[in-house]
Amino acid sequence: MQFDNRSRRSKILRDVNEIKASKNYTFASTGESNLSMYEFAPKEEISLRDFEDIAAQRLKALRKIEELKLREKSYDEFKVSMGKELHPIFKPCTLHQSGVLEDQRKQIRRDDVIGHFALRLAFCRSPEDTKWFVTQEVELFKYRFQNEPKSAILSFFADNKFDAETMTASEKESRIEDLASSYGLSMEKVRNSDIWMMDALDALELVRKRKVLVHAGKVYLEYESLITIIVQRLRATMNSSMARANQYMGVIEEQDRLLPRLERLTKGGYGGKEFNAAEGQSISRHQIDSASSQFFPLCMSGIQSHLRRNHHLKHGARRQYGLFLKAIGLSLDEAMAFFREEFTQKIDSDKFEKQYAYNIRHMYGKEGKRQEYSAFSCATIILNNPPSHDDCHGCPFKHSTEDNLKSILKANKIKSEDIDEMIALSKINQFDKACSLHWEVSRGHGKGSLSSLITHPNQYYELTREAVGGHQMEDMTDDKISQTSCE
């Protein structure tokens, strides 16, 4: 094991030296195309300051893309908003426009590549980060690709060894019927658009699904499928290189210099802010029931009622719920008492101490690695550790069956038309929108009242608290609540 590490370390150091020794080169393409497949990392020296600035700018752009993608209903509207809102803050998007000076162009292309690779480093360290980053980058690439003129696309293909060319009008005419019926387009449409030819081996997924015309070992692609192919390769390159980078992270000696900077970048990256043990707010265990019905998102109030009903939580739910409670200000002592009171209704307190107390202290950073754990974001809840049938954690919009979700929402006194809308949203994987809608209608604020989307259960909680002014909680003393909960 030790040997492995050593050999890996020495290989990486060798690589580093090699990079240092190699001649600086301008990595951005000099050709007509403004796009890069980002297959080769830049090898030039750059000041930390620039590194950070460029990365921060790109990150801002990616967040904007995420926002617009969620906000706009159709791709056309998305494109319009991108033009209005992204172009001013992100120069690489304006490269295709005329009037960019050659020097400027070089500079912008360089920043484009540096920014991309800087963020790869920053986002390679958890699968969720990587996923978020790849999604936004791909969206950005697609958008920029569509702005490129055909001549630039051809030079981009040549640069990146995509062996693709367009069909001539007469070639098209010779198999016009097949082309039209492969894509469900009219022959007129086929005549008027570019059809690209590529080796079938470069478009395997489209071949597999019979989404393209296949003839003599070649595939014939209309624009949409062409983009699919390129994006697939981009995604594959990014995923594998980021997985590799993640392995290397532990070995490069950058603890003091680069790593904190990268950390800063991802902090507050996609999930908005991190929710740790809350500052300035606290909650006692006796307030949880009333808080649950007033302020909690569906995922948490569900766990709360499961706990009251069954006096037990499985590991997934303990973790999801425990960290959430910690982040809304439940202290360790209160948490311990809270879970003990419930659990010991079914098991004796010895067993509780043995099996669960450690677990709870661990969440508060008092055991094991002694790490401060943050509450799970929606992304974590949705992407990781899906609940099995007897679990009660997860995201109801993602993990519940339609019938279950319906009855939960009904019990929540949501109007049936709103229920239908939420179910429709969850069906198209827009769980955040569904949850935001839930916030809007269940708290009586009306649709569209929420300015941002819900991406974190604790964000949901805080927004609710803000909306009610926070005063109701203070009005209740512990005694009153414990009385009511005892009844």
Partner 1 sequence: MFYVICHFPVNMTEPRPFEMNRLVDYLQHYYRKGVFPFKPYTNWLTYSKKPSEYFNLREFAFIIDKDGEEVHLRYRSFNDAFEFEKELCRVSPHKLDLGAVYNYVPKEGRNRVDFRAMERELIFDIDLNDYDSVRNCCEGATVCGKCWKFIVVAVKILDARLKKDFGFTALLYVFSGRRGVHCWVGDAKARKLTNSARSAFAEYLTLFEGDKMDLKGKGRGKTIIHPMITDCYNVIMTAENGQLVKDMVIEQSYLEKEEDTLKDCKNPQLKEELQRIFTLSKPESRWQMICLKCDEKTWRSEREKLKDQPDKLKNLPEPPSDEYKLFLLQWVLSRLYPRLDVNVSTGVNHLLKSPFCIHPKTGNVAVPIDAQKVHLFDVTKCPRIDQLLEELDKVKEDEGETKENRKMLAYKHTSLAPHVEIFEKFVEKTIGKM
Where in 178-197 is the site for partner 1 (CB under 8 A)? 178, 181-184
Residue 210 near partner 1 by CB under 8 A: yes
Helix (H) or strand (E) holding 192: helix 187-192
* 299 labeled part of a ligand binding site: yes
CA-angle at 434, arms to 298 and 394, nearest 5°: 45
Residue 217 near partner 1 by CB under 8 A: yes
Give one DSSP letter per residue of 275-306, joined into a string. --SPSS--B-GGGHHHHHHHH--HHHHHHHHH
Residue 208 near partner 1 by CB under 8 A: yes
* 392 labeled part of a ligand binding site: no
Residue 229 near partner 1 by CB under 8 A: no
* 395 labeled part of a ligand binding site: yes
Burial class from Cβ neighbours inside 10 Å (0-12, 13-18, 19+) for residue 17 reads exposed
Smallest distance from partner 1 to CB 182, Å: 6
Nearer to partner 1, 207 or 473 (CB): 207
Nearer to partner 1, 200 or 252 (CB): 200
Give one DSSP letter per residue of 126-159, joined into a string. SHHHHHHHHHHHHHHHHHHHHHS-HHHHHHHHHH
Residue 74 near partner 1 by CB under 8 A: no
Smallest distance from partner 1 to CB 248, Å: 23
Q: Indicate the length of the chain as a whole number.
A: 487
Nearer to partner 1, 48 or 201 (CB): 201
Q: Which residues pair with 196 in a beta bridge?
A: 166, 221
Among 71, 110, 191, 215, binds partner 1 (CB under 8 A): 215
Taking each helix axis from N to C end, the angle separating 416-427 and 402-411, rounded to the nearest 10 degrees, works out to: 150
* The one segment of 85-93, 214-222, 408-416, 457-465 that binds partner 1 by CB under 8 A: 214-222
Nearer to partner 1, 55 or 179 (CB): 179
Where in 101-140 is the site for partner 1 (CB under 8 A)? none
Nearer to partner 1, 207 or 357 (CB): 207
Query: Parallel, antiparallel, or unpaired for β 213-215 and 196-199?
Result: unpaired
Smallest distance from partner 1 to CB 207, Å: 5
Q: Which residues contact 340 (CB under 8 A, 6 or more apart)?
A: 349, 352, 357
Taking each helix axis from N to C end, the angle separating 457-468 and 298-310, rounded to the nearest 10 degrees, works out to: 100
* 93 labeled part of a ligand binding site: no
Nearer to partner 1, 99 or 217 (CB): 217
Query: Which pair of tokens denotes residue 210?
Result: 């019979």
* Residue whose token pair is 């360089």: 110
Which residue numbers belong to the known binding site for [4Fe-4S] cluster?
299, 378, 395, 435
Q: Using CB under 8 A as the criterion, which residues of the chain lie in contact with partner 1 when the complex forms?
A: 177-178, 181-184, 200-201, 204-205, 207-211, 213-218
